[in-house]
Structure 1
């Protein structure tokens, strides 16, 4: 884990605690504020989808601190596919990867057999997922059809008490949310 002061560590700990208790948190990412929770806790994911007003069938992105947190999704890739994906990580780039062994819940994948994943270089995201010990959900902090929040005040305006913890911090340097590309088709899903 990168070097962080005691006050920041306390906030990371509170965020992890909220996630472990089935809560939804808000946190800064590369370009916009994100909402996150434990992807294996169906109630937490349903709560996140409800407050965001996002239909489950669209699927959600997962974010990790490092490759080891998602190694089970990388093990079935060819060497060329592995090299292509890892060339962009850590960084603000999301890949849609096959979930051949069906280890990611349907409430994360939506109508798809694959899952969108990012290994972040953003210090708050990395510290959070390292402290949590696993990847978490990462979706933009905005109700459907609204602009993603670019500051904590907008997060509070959108969601108020509906989120369980807000991890203060700075956004990264990216101007736009991360690019999403499908590994199998090489199709750009979101620029």
Structure 2
């Protein structure tokens, strides 16, 4: 493994080049450190599952730079999602959307859906910009164990199994992003995290009232 690099231009360009080559890169987000691979690279996704010892039926969430990258992952967004994006992005709200048929099944867990969010963390945003596209952001941990909140913890967990750590300092930890989906056109809380689901429902309330 390359030793941790600073979250500066040189380090981020190096990280982006590794992602293009199918590498696995750890980086900080607004919750924990995540593991990035190219979400369209099936071999990289296979490697990610092996490194995390992750069951294949569990999907992998994806970070985007904003709505302009969503058409690479999903079709037209439901209007209520657009309301939530306006209110909560960038932030720890993951929206579960219908996946484009061409997406790797490793990414979707064969659920035909994909979870997406825009991170407010400066380093996460800079990595996506350097790479020029979405990246995965599954937590940097062995499945079933606590997620890493520092570059040191990532290094201790994965040793030489990943290719690079972008050191962006400590992350807040605590809980992950809130996962929200749609069921019969109504919002459904899949996992409550940093954002209370009640706040999500409140943000969408006027949308439903006006229909």
Give the TM-score normalised by structure 2: 0.81
Partner of 1:188: 189
CA RMSD in angstroms comes to: 1.9
SS at match of 1:161: coil
Query: Does the 8 A contact of 1:28 with 1:167 survive in 2?
Result: yes
Larger radius of gyration: 2
Looking at structure 1, the residues matched to 62 and 48 of structure 2 have their Cα atoms a distance apart, in angstroms, of 13
Greater shift, 167-176 or 37-46, is seen at: 167-176
User: Are positions 1:121 and 2:127 aligned together?
Assistant: no
Cα drift, residue 82 of structure 1: 2.1
Greater shift, 169-178 or 126-135, is seen at: 169-178
Looking at structure 2, the residues matched to 82 and 96 of structure 1 have their Cα atoms a distance apart, in angstroms, of 13
Where do 1:10-25 residues align within 5 Å? 10-25=10-25
Q: Tell me the number of residue pairs that the alignment of Structure 1 and Structure 2 aligns.
A: 185
Query: Does the 8 A contact of 2:73 with 2:114 survive in 1?
Result: no
Give the TM-score normalised by structure 1: 0.89
Looking at structure 2, the residues matched to 71 and 90 of structure 1 have their Cα atoms a distance apart, in angstroms, of 17
Looking at structure 2, the residues matched to 59 and 132 of structure 1 have their Cα atoms a distance apart, in angstroms, of 22
**Structure 1, unaligned runs of 5 or more:** 1-5
SS at match of 2:88: coil
**Structure 2, unaligned runs of 5 or more:** 1-5, 193-211
Partner of 2:101: 102
Looking at structure 1, the residues matched to 78 and 102 of structure 2 have their Cα atoms a distance apart, in angstroms, of 19
Query: Does the 8 A contact of 2:54 with 2:143 survive in 1?
Result: yes
Structure 1 runs, 4 residues or longer, greater than 4 Å off: 72-75, 171-174
Query: Does the 8 A contact of 2:18 with 2:24 survive in 1?
Result: yes
* Counterparts in 2 of 1:78 and 1:139: CA distance versus 1, 3 Å: closer
* Counterparts in 2 of 1:78 and 1:33: CA distance versus 1, 3 Å: closer
